[in-house]
Chain A
Amino acid sequence: MPLNQEPIAEINNVVRIYTKPLVKPRKGAHRRFVGFLKREKQTIRALDGVSFKIHPGECVALLGPNGAGKSTTVKLLSGILHPTSGQVRIFDQDPYHNRIDCAMRYGVVFGQRSLLWTHVPVKESLKLYQKMYNVPKPIFDERLKEFTEILDIEKHLPTAPRRLSLGERMRCEIIAALLHQPEVIFLDEPTVGLDVVAKKKIRDFIRRINREEKVTVFLCSHSMRDVEELTDRIILISKGNIKFDGPKRQLKRRWSNERKIRVLYKKVNKANWQTELEEQQGVLELTTQNGQADLRIDQDQLAIGDLLKDIMELLVVDDIQVTEPNLEDIIREIFGDEERVNNLQMEAN
């Protein structure tokens, strides 16, 4: 991650407040009438003092539960929304006030919102994009050919998006977002609702443009597979606050000290081996069945090496597998535990 470079995008102490009508049951015709005339409103702090920087060439994932403020962050960075307070910069400009200049340099894909014209053939939409972004025709033709081959959608170009499947449409959306050679691409749930084949094609393609074209990728996704495969850095956001910002491996290391150990054994050297293992400090769980023992341990309390040594003494081992929990397990655990989320110390950028 080239941290010595100037950031390509930056959010500094940003607050974004939404208001929504407060629906309260009212008794009595008079109160209902007054309530109809004068709606009470409640304010929601979608983002509450969020700060981070993105450097050129990075692939960053913004993760959080529903309503955490992920989409709001993307919309602030792309100049769709104005922050209630704080500063948003991209390409060293304010994306809200210099929207057109900034839009020429970034691309956006909203998984749940089509940016193509739904009733006309995809190719016609792309031609209009070519004019909109001033892409020279030879470059347009070359990139279109290359991208359609990689994503395997050449045959769908004469079809209107409304007649395409979700996966086909999404691949077209990604092409539309990348034809003008953007420096940054914002991906908001790009693989939502897609089958595994389509997801893989899109992931491979994103990885490719990040590595080969050095396009900075900012990804919001609920798919941990996307995050696991594509990104190096993770920003965790919950209730409008950043809870973690750092490398993926650091999140794994910091958050989960647990390891799973599976032992396949031929025979037992000691009859009370199970009790001996269970009594060790740091063994959280032990389950056994037909020559297989599964252990869950806390690395802070028990060194894996020591445990393996004991296992070799207690059992005649055929095979041992040590696995760390995947990102999905970790994220599920983090956001399922309110107290731990609040206690999680935020990493410096």
Chain B
Amino acid sequence: MVKSNVFRQLSLLPGYIRLSLLRIAEDKIQLWGAFATSIIGIGMYVFFWNVITYQMPVLTGVGWVTWGRAELTFLIGVTESAWGFGAFFWMGVWEIHWHITELGLEQFRVRPASSIFQMIAQQFWAGGLLQVAIGIVMLWLSALTFGLVIVPINVLLGALALFLGQAALYILWACLCCLAFWIGRNEGLLEVSDAVEMNFARMPIDIMPFGVQYFLTFVFPVIFISTVPTMIILGYLSLQSSLFYIGIAGGLALLWIVVFRYLWARGLKRYQPVGG
């Protein structure tokens, strides 16, 4: 039964992606907005790291690798791609608390598919794919400009680390959203976590103090959407280290899935419909 439901939901993915494309076609200005935001963000950070590396050619700190202009530019591309994929795939997570407190869960609960799957799939945002494309162009340009050597296996491992890390991060957000069953609207909490991601994702996290590194690895795993995939793709981590990090990201994703399922099941029993 569970297996058949999973397959049925996977079979719905093309339909939801189609809806997402139609939605973006209805609202082209949003697409242009995403494009502009992406370009401005990338431009600003390229400028920022250029200024820094002009003063200090490499950043070492307490990190495992030295970060020069090439690696930092590559990092910006990885982060942009990660955010693009996040915006495409995980945008719906942001609205879970909103559905619990304001919009209602009814529309998801009366359809024969997982409520969470629907909440996420309904918000697939095709504009995120544009961001992914911009990020990939950025990666390609930085590899070309700085003569970086990219090995396909490292790309695969890096992408896997990124995917699992991002899943861990967004499912953690979903857990925070679930708290809305008990505490009501909690945008403030999500704003804080968003700020952590926004501010740390474009930084090489391994140059920071150990405490911050641990926090951004095990508590709020931002490291997996920027620093770790960059290091893996650039071949700065051995295969064992890469697999170790992938294991941590997968473990965290699994942990947060378990926590989320528990919170969702408990919270749903407390759910009070909006407006009757």
- Using a CB–CB cutoff of 8 Å, the interface residues on chain A facing chain B are 18-20, 66-67, 70-72, 75, 78-82, 99-101, 103-104, 106, 108, 110, 112-115, 117, 119-121, 124-125, 127-129, 131-134, 160
Contact = CB atoms under 8 A, between A and B. Distances in A.
Given A75-B273, A101-B112, A108-B106, 17 more contacts: A79-B110, A80-B273, A81-B273, A82-B271, A99-B112, A100-B5, A100-B114, A115-B110, A115-B111, A117-B122, A120-B19, A120-B23, A124-B19, A128-B19, A132-B111, A132-B112, A160-B26
Interface residues of B, number: 30
B3 interface: no
Secondary structure of the B contact surface, majority rule: helix
A114 B122 CA distance: 14
Interface string B150-185: 000000000000000000000000000000000000
B147 interface: no
A194 B122 CA distance: 28
B105 A80 contact: yes
A74 B168 CA distance: 36
Given A82-B268, A120-B26, A134-B8, A103 B112 contact: yes
Interface string B20-59: 0011001100000000000000000000000000000000
A128 B269 contact: no
A121 B112 contact: no
B185 to A, nearest CB: 12
Sort A-B residue pairs by CB-CB distance and give the 9 closest, nearest first.
A71-B276, A103-B112, A80-B109, A128-B15, A108-B110, A82-B269, A120-B22, A104-B112, A100-B112
Interface in B255-276: 268-269, 271-273, 275-276
Given A80-B105, A119-B26, A124 B271 contact: no
Contacts of B269: 82
B114 to A, nearest CB: 8
Interface of B: 5, 8, 11-12, 15-16, 18-19, 22-23, 26-27, 104-107, 109-114, 122, 268-269, 271-273, 275-276
A78 B268 contact: no
Contact of B273 (A71, A125, A129): A71
A30 B165 CA distance: 45
A124 B12 CA distance: 13
A95 to B, nearest CB: 10
B22 to A, nearest CB: 4
Given A72-B273, A72-B276, A128-B16, A78 B109 contact: yes
Contacts of B276: 66-67, 70-72
B112 A117 contact: no
Given A72-B273, A75-B273, A117-B122, A131 B15 contact: yes
B226 to A, nearest CB: 32
Given A18-B272, A119-B23, A128-B12, A78 B110 contact: yes
B168 to A, nearest CB: 27
B15 A127 contact: yes
16 contacts: A18-B272, A19-B272, A20-B272, A71-B273, A75-B106, A100-B113, A103-B110, A108-B110, A117-B19, A117-B23, A117-B122, A119-B22, A120-B22, A125-B19, A128-B12, A132-B113
Contacts of A72: 273, 276
